Amino acid sequence: EPSVTVKPGYAVYWFYHAFTNKCLYAPKEPNKPITVKPCDESNYSKWMVLTSRKGYFYSMAHPDYCLRVADVDTGSLELGKCDEQAKMVHDNDGFLTLIESSDKCVGFLNDKDMYNNEIEMNLNTCVKEDNEKFFNWDHNPTPITVCFSEAFGYPCCSDPNTSVAYDDEYGQWGIENDLWCGILGSETTVATLTPTINTETYYLYNTESNKCVHSSGILDSPITMTVCDQSSYTLWDIPYTHNGHFHLKFDNSHCIMLSDNDSLVLGKCGDAGTTFYREGNYIKSSISSDKCVGITDTSTLVMTKCIEFNIYQLFFFNLWTEEPVDN
């Protein structure tokens, strides 16, 4: 890619959309829609903006063009001419708005697209929720290195510039959405961490089959789908971050495991084969990030190529709470 001279007083940022783990992305040619896509090192992921983050958002891929509201009435966004409809502001809370319409925020054009690899964005009436937040990074924010806080069951802070609320022997802590988070890059003794992972209990539900992920409790037996009876065989203790070992409630030393033939079985928790993570409503393995957990015709679970809108690959993490017992 040709080098682009950065204007005086400007900085180059990636605008990271933590809700989808993607970045604000310019189209291949001007006058096309603005999207979010997986972050990369290309100029399509980079934007040249005043350090105040107020004014024109120039694309580093097309430096004569800006992030622009193509139609003020519909809120459609494009990479277009740098005029009054291209004057934006990115505030300290992470919301991206048109200067002349501060009640309108950049968000999804269609919520149903949120699991797509590329998602078209639009200027909508602000609801001030996480799916409208962008965080400015001065380097590619993904893949994000696992930070020290995840060993304790707390996520990394989405914003690298999060204010330090607490400092301990492991690193610096911030607060996002009223929850503790670890500030990436502040870790000190990560290699020696051996804390107990904070987990929550879930039943993993697929709407199309109207069933839940199940295990018989026998090692090496297949993971299957069955009626959601919320027994200890259909409940899973999963890290708060939804990244790590998926422990069977019946026996916490046993976890979902990826076998050699890409099927899922019950195994002993420990190695990389028993590490999974949630991406939207998809479940992925740390070994095969291009594959997702899916349901076969025989109601067993396997890792297959991720396909957008594949209803047999979408799982809901429904939090389970034990019913109180009358005394």
What pLDDT was estimated at residue 288? 80
Q: How many angstroms separate the CA atoms of 268 and 250, rounded?
A: 13
Residue 82 structure tokens? 């740098």
pLDDT mean across residues, the chain: 87
Domains with residue ranges and CATH for the chain: 10-137 (2.80.10.50), 148-192 (3.90.1220.10), 199-319 (2.80.10.50)
Give the residue-averaged pLDDT of 15-44: 92
pLDDT tens digit sequence for 85-117: 999 999 988 999 999 988 999 999 998 887 788
The whole-angstrom distance between residue 323's C-alpha and the CA centroid of its chain comes to 31
pLDDT tens digit sequence for 249-302: 999 889 999 998 999 999 998 766 888 999 889 999 878 878 999 999 999 999
Residue 150 structure tokens? 């995840």
What pLDDT was estimated at residue 139? 86
- Please determine, for residue 235, whether its predicted confidence score (pLDDT) is greater than 90: yes
- The pLDDT-based confidence of 191 (bands split at 50, 70, 90) is very low
Q: How many angstroms separate the CA atoms of 96 and 54, rounded?
A: 10
Percent of the chain topping pLDDT 70: 90
Q: How many angstroms separate the CA atoms of 13 and 34, rounded?
A: 16
